[in-house]
Amino acid sequence: MKFSCKNVALIGKHKSPEVAAPLLRLAEFLTARGLHVVVDSLTAEHLKDHPYPAMNLEEMAAMADLAIVIGGDGTMLNIARTFSPHHVPLIGVNQGRLGFLTDLTLENMLESIAAMLDGKFITERRLLLSARVLRGDVEVFSGLAFNEVVVHRSQISSMVEFEVRIDGEYLYNQRADGLIVSTPTGSTAYAMSAGGPILHPGLDVLELVPICPHTLSNRPIVVNGSAVLEILMHRCNDIRVRLDSHTSFDMQLHDKIIVTRHADHAHLLHPVGHSYYHTLREKLQWNQSL
């Protein structure tokens, strides 16, 4: 399978000067193949005397046929939220620690991308979340999440008290440090650390994981991806909702958060032979002998 690709957006890890050398090497490689390269304006601040036009993320998303991210999973989370509504496929080159989303290495970057541009790739759709905060009947906040939507208390406040409904049906009232609503992608992030299950990214489901619930009976629950989740704040003192650690909003008493599957998906491109289970074994060190 081949796709039409003329304009390639390059984005590097934020505030990471060491990204300059591999990014310029990749830019020269793509230009030699006849592609038009644009560089993220923040990344361009680390590049000296380069010939490539610089744009902000929104401008790049509107014109790019492909985005290549050099960084870690955190960088990819931010880029996916901006580029996915424009249906721009993403390739990740890992310069971080884990690399669940950025699966190419700096060493195999050029060889792998050359093969992918020749049509040798696997396309993977990843679910996104849409979150809205209603204050009465007024929407006061909205945003997208790739990993998770988290309602959480600050370090100095008391427990959160909230009510959860699924598709309008009452599920439970909860006292906890917070609640994670995670995509399958996010199941290997905060949700896993809080005791949630690992979900294959191809599943069309959401998971709800309480953070330190004040009960022994409450456990994570997995629901259909089409579910409408409502979280109503019954006790709210210095509480906020956070999307992928990048965007946050301070909550008030009786605010309601509505979380749904977003209409758009993130489209990740992987080399032929990519295996999610291999990634789990490698990143979670399951292949080490006891």
Answer whether residue 145 is part of any domain.
Answer: yes
Domain end call among 68, 101, 119: 119
* 109 lies in the same domain as 169: no
Count of domains for the chain: 2
Q: Which of 73, 103, 244, 255 is catalytic?
A: 73
pLDDT tens digits for range 241-277:
999 988 999 999 899 999 999 999 999 999 999 999 9
Would you state the pLDDT for residue 213? 92
Number of C-beta neighbours around residue 13 at 10 A: 23
CATH number of the domain residue 19 falls in: 3.40.50.10330
Q: Could you tell me if 256 and 182 lie in one domain? A: yes
Q: Same domain for 175 and 110?
A: no
Residue range 35-60, pLDDT digits in tens: 999 999 999 988 888 899 999 999 99
Same domain? 158 vs 229: yes
Whether 270 maps to a domain, the answer reads no
pLDDT of residue 2 exceeding 60, the answer is no
Q: Is the pLDDT of residue 28 over 60?
A: yes
Answer with the one of 86, 119, 152 that is the final residue of a domain.
119
Residue 256 forms part of a structural domain: yes
Render pLDDT for 162-202 as a digit per residue (tens, 0 to 9): 999 999 999 999 999 999 999 999 999 999 999 999 999 99
Q: Say whether both 115 and 133 belong to one domain.
A: no
Write out the residue range of the structural domain in which residue 79 sits. Answer: 7-119
Catalytic residue list contains 264: no
39 compared with 288, residue with greater pLDDT: 39
Cα distance between residue 262 and residue 284, in whole Å: 29
82 in the same domain as 164: no
CATH number of the domain enclosing 230? 2.60.200.30
Q: How far apart are CA 200 and CA 186, in angstroms?
A: 10
Q: Are residues 142 and 223 in the same domain?
A: yes
Asked whether residue 278 is assigned to any structural domain, the reply reads: no
Examine the fold and report which residue of 90, 119, 148 is the final residue of a domain before the chain moves on.
Answer: 119
Give yes or no: residues 108 and 138 share one domain: no
| Whether 103 and 142 share a structural domain | no
72 and 166 together in one domain = no
User: b/e string for 52-75 if b means 16 or more Cβ within 10 A?
Assistant: bebbebeebbeebbbbbbbbbbbb
Question: Same structural domain for residues 246 and 136?
Answer: yes
Least confident among 99-103, 137-141, 142-146, 269-273 = 99-103
